[in-house]
Amino acid sequence: MLIDIKDLYKIYNEGKESEVRALDGVSLQIDRGEFVSIIGQSGSGKSTLMNILGCLDIPTYGDYHLDGTDVTELSDRQLAHIRNKQIGFIFQGYNLIPALSARENVELPLIYQNIGVDKRHERSEEALERVSMFDRAGHKPSEMSGGQQQRVAIARAIATHPNIIMADEPTGALDSKTGRHVLEILHSLHDDGTTIILITHDNGIAATAERIVRISDGKIIADGTREEVGL
Amino acid sequence: MNISQAVKMAAKSISSNKARSFLTMLGIIIGLAAVIILVSYAEGQTLAMKAYYESMGTNVLEVSANNWMSSEDTGKMLYDYCLGLEGVEGITPNGYVYNDMTISYGAKTLSRNRNYGGGMVMIGGGGMSMSYGGGSDDHYPQVRLGNDKYGLCNDYKIAKGREFSYLEIQNMSQVCILGSDTAEYLFSFADPIDKTITINGLPFRVVGVYQSKAAGINLGNSEDSYWLSESIKRNDKLLLLPSTMTRFFNNNESIDEYIVKVVDSDSITKVVTDLNGFLSNIINTNYGYYNVYNPSEYQGDQEEANQLQQRFLGGIAAISLLVGGIGIMNIMLVTVTERTREIGIRKAIGAERRSIITQFLIEAAMICGIGGLLGIAVGYIGTMVVTKLSFGLVMMPGSAITVGAFAISVALGIIFGLYPAIKASALQPVEALRAD
CB crowding B232-265: b at 16 or more within 10 Å, else e: bbbbbbbbbbbbbbbebbbeeebbbbbbbbbeee
Q: Provide the pLDDT confidence category of residue A63 given band limits of 50, 70 and 90.
A: very high
Query: Nearest to residue A132, comparing CAs of A145, A119, A114?
Result: A145
pLDDT tens for each residue of B145-203 = 999 999 988 888 899 999 999 999 989 999 999 999 899 989 988 899 999 999 988 99
| The pLDDT of residue A165 | 96
Contact A169, A200 (CB under 8 A): yes
Residue B411 pLDDT exceeds 70: yes
**A207/B436: higher pLDDT:** A207
| The pLDDT of residue B204 | 94
**B139/B228: higher pLDDT:** B139
Question: Inter-chain contact A99–B347, Cβ cutoff 8 Å?
Answer: no
With vertex at residue A46, the alpha carbon angle to CA A43 and CA A47, rounded to the nearest 5 degrees, is 85
Nearest to A114 among B1, B17, B346 (CB): B1
| The pLDDT of residue B294 | 84
Nearest to A56 among B13, B355, B429 (CB): B429
Q: Provide the pLDDT confidence category of residue A209 given band limits of 50, 70 and 90.
A: very high
- Which residue in A has a C-alpha nearest to residue B5's C-alpha? A111
pLDDT tens for each residue of A87-106 = 999 998 899 999 899 999 99
pLDDT tens for each residue of A3-62 = 999 999 999 999 999 999 999 999 999 999 999 999 999 889 999 999 999 999 999 999
| The pLDDT of residue B424 | 75
**A205/B135: higher pLDDT:** A205
**Distance in angstroms (rounded) separating the CA atoms of residues B382 and B375:** 10
Q: Helices A146-158 and A176-191 sit at what angle, rounded to 10 degrees?
A: 10
How confident is the prediction for chain B on average, in pLDDT? 81
Question: Inter-chain contact A109–B5, Cβ cutoff 8 Å?
Answer: no
| The pLDDT of residue B226 | 65
Question: Inter-chain contact B349–A114, Cβ cutoff 8 Å?
Answer: no
**Distance in angstroms (rounded) separating the CA atoms of residues B51 and B302:** 13
Element (H, E) at B21: helix B18-56
**Distance in angstroms (rounded) separating the CA atoms of residues B226 and B241:** 29
For the ranges A161-170, B83-92, B213-222, B387-396, the maximum mean pLDDT occurs at: A161-170
How confident is the prediction for chain A on average, in pLDDT? 93
Q: Mean of the pLDDT values across residues B269-286?
A: 86
Element (H, E) at A61: strand A61-66
| The pLDDT of residue B68 | 75
pLDDT tens for each residue of B97-140 = 877 788 888 888 888 755 444 433 333 333 333 333 333 347 88
pLDDT tens for each residue of B73-89 = 777 788 888 888 888 88
- Which residue in B has a C-alpha nearest to residue A51's C-alpha? B430
pLDDT tens for each residue of B8-48 = 888 888 888 888 888 878 888 888 888 888 888 877 777 77
**Radius of gyration in angstroms for the set of CA atoms belonging to chain A, rounded to a whole number:** 18
pTM given for the model: 0.66
**Distance in angstroms (rounded) separating the CA atoms of residues A84 and B347:** 9
**Distance in angstroms (rounded) separating the CA atoms of residues B70 and B64:** 16
For the ranges B50-64, B117-131, B301-315, the maximum mean pLDDT occurs at: B301-315
Nearest to A112 among B16, B17, B349 (CB): B349
Question: Inter-chain contact B349–A156, Cβ cutoff 8 Å?
Answer: yes
Distances (CA, A) of B223 to B95, B125, B352, B393, B405: 31, 35, 61, 8, 29
Nearest to B433 among A76, A77, A95 (CB): A95
Alpha helices for chain A (secondary structure H): 46-53, 76-85, 102-112, 117-130, 146-158, 176-191, 203-206, 226-229
Residue B360 pLDDT exceeds 90: no
A69 contact partners, CB below 8 Å, separation of at least 6: A82
Task: Please state whether beta strands B202-210 and B238-242 pair in parallel, antiparallel, or not at all (unpaired).
Answer: unpaired
Residue A77 pLDDT exceeds 80: yes
**Distance in angstroms (rounded) separating the CA atoms of residues B414 and B3:** 17
Q: How far is B417 from chain A (nearest CA, A)?
A: 19
Chain A positions touching chain B (beta carbons under 8 Å)? 51, 54, 56-58, 76-77, 80-81, 83-85, 89, 91, 95-97, 99-100, 104, 108-109, 111-114, 156, 160
